Amino acid sequence: MQSLPTSTVDPDCFILWLVITLVWVKALSFISRGSLKQLPPGPRPYPVIGNLLELGDKPHKSLLELAKIHGPIMSLKLASMVKTILLDHDSSFCNRTVPHAMSSHEHREFSLAWMPVSRPWKNIRKICNMLIFTTQKLDTNQDLQRKKSK
């Protein structure tokens, strides 16, 4: 009877393979982190949810605490899934709730601030941007704005 050859891994080869693998992984993480060097400092984000957990239920206080650690300018990664949802389903989130005072006399149907986002709203917004909110019109009404604001 012949015995089958058994293969054993030399411990030195295994350690060499392990070291090479660890160096390769570390080099890849260093290279990928190089693109983040252009961003301001900030907390390290979690994979899918980013820094959403660090904001908590009182984001203004959380941002103040983060500013003490990372400085007044910091980078935060908010969840990539949230970005996708808000970009793809933005029409679900863009309409405001209309107060009863505005809906009692149908003011909401003609007010740019209270109309739901729709084709008429886009047309009125386009007209306002072309005729009312141009730089030239805003500059000519600047004195009136100053008088009214006092």
Encode pLDDT of 65-93 as tens digits. 999 999 999 988 877 766 777 777 777 66
Task: Say yes or no: 81 and 50 in one domain.
Answer: yes
Task: Say yes or no: 83 and 108 in one domain.
Answer: no
- Is 8 inside any structural domain? no
Instruction: Give Cα separations from 132 to 28, 117, 137, 147 (angstroms).
Output: 53, 20, 6, 19
pLDDT at 13: 84
Residue written as token pair 């090479």: 20
- Is 35 inside any structural domain? no
Q: pLDDT above 70 covers what percent of the chain? A: 85
- Is 113 inside any structural domain? yes
- Is 4 inside any structural domain? no
Task: Say yes or no: 87 and 125 in one domain.
Answer: no
Tokens of 114: 């209270």
- Is 126 inside any structural domain? yes
pLDDT at 112: 81
- Is 124 inside any structural domain? yes
Q: pTM higher than 0.85 for the full model? A: no
Mean pLDDT across the chain? 81
* Domains held by the chain: number: 2
pLDDT at 126: 93
- Is 131 inside any structural domain? yes
- Residue 62 CB neighbour total at 10 angstroms: 15
Task: Say yes or no: 85 and 108 in one domain.
Answer: no
Q: What is the DSSP letter of 71?
A: -
Task: Say yes or no: 49 and 81 in one domain.
Answer: yes
Which range of residues forms the domain containing residue 121?
Answer: 103-141
What's the chain's length in residues?
A: 150
- Is 48 inside any structural domain? yes
Tokens of 46: 């979690």
Per-residue pLDDT band at 20 (split at 50, 70, 90): very high
Task: Say yes or no: 119 and 80 in one domain.
Answer: no
What is the CA 114 to chain-centroid distance, rounded? 26
